[in-house]
Amino acid sequence: MRSMHDELLAAAVAAAQAGGEVLRHRFGDSALDVRAKSENDFVTLADRESEEAVLASLGDRFPEHRVLSEEAGYRGGNASEFEWIVDPLDGTTNFLQGLPTYAVSIACRKGDRMLVAAILAPERGDLFTASHGGGAQLNGREISVSNREGLRGAFLATGYPFKAKAALDLYLDIFRDVFLEARAIRRCGAAALDLAYTAAGIFDGFFEFRLSAWDVAAGSLLIEEAGGVVGDLDGGRDFLRTGNLLAGTRGVQAALVDVLGRHASEADLDSLVERPAVG
């Protein structure tokens, strides 16, 4: 089984590097053919070219596997047990503005179990990897979540709910409660990197509403393999479908579940904002 994981991880890394090479070439390009998918949500020529490179790389190695990618949706049939979940450019707005905080995020799962993950930050050359039961690494070096035991003094990451504005007041109430306990909260604009940095112990925890599966699939495995915990608003594991993710060290994640639970459940958020579309 370890050899299969190794083969899958090698494919994830190769695909991430193929997409990253496209993005490095396109970063700073003033002719990116920017199109709005919805309000404050954009797709560019760089997204599409990176996606083509990633899908071609995965297809060369595993043509029979199913793929879910942000721009292309589902590809492949249902015959294979394996599914790749791809974000060819996480942090598109940062990329467009010339802010070098963006990533390629790739994960593979079999059924409900995430098997491997790779997140590449092209501008820094940082490659985060993980495999089920094999730990998490940054540029080949083992990483682990921090030793923070709770929110007091925690250094956290979040994302503003710009795709879920009906939940803004709820988010601000939660933000206030977390802010009053934490040491600092950052919003970097690329959820995959926020999760990778949490796995590496840079952030102690992370929380955000209504993300898509491709935003969190790889990062969730990184955190778990680095010794952390991920979950949804109710403390369950339905975050890939709901898009609501609370992650971090065991103590920080439990504290986030407690704070957010005072304000809202998954059902409450469903009443305010539709769940993210898939495919």
Least confident window among 126-130, 166-170, 204-208: 166-170
Higher-pLDDT residue of 28 and 141 is 141
Amino acid 92 reads T
Q: State pLDDT tens for residues 75-125.
A: 876 768 999 999 999 998 899 889 999 999 999 999 989 999 999 999 999
Q: Say which residue the tokens 């590496």 belong to.
A: 200
Percent of the chain beyond pLDDT 70? 92
Report the b/e string of 94-123 with b at 16+ CB within 10 A.
bbbeeeebbbbbbbbbeeeebbbbbbbbbe
Calculate mean pLDDT across residues 229-244.
94
* pLDDT value at 270 more than 70: yes
Q: State pLDDT tens for residues 23-76.
A: 998 887 656 555 555 554 446 788 889 999 999 999 999 999 999 998 788 887
pLDDT at position 40, please? Answer: 45
Cα distance between residue 195 and residue 70, in whole Å: 18
Q: State pLDDT tens for residues 149-198.
A: 999 999 999 999 887 889 999 999 999 999 999 999 999 999 999 999 99
Calculate mean pLDDT across residues 220-229.
98
pLDDT at position 5, please? Answer: 86
pLDDT at position 165, please? Answer: 86
Domains of the chain: 2-142 (3.30.540.10), 155-272 (3.40.190.80)
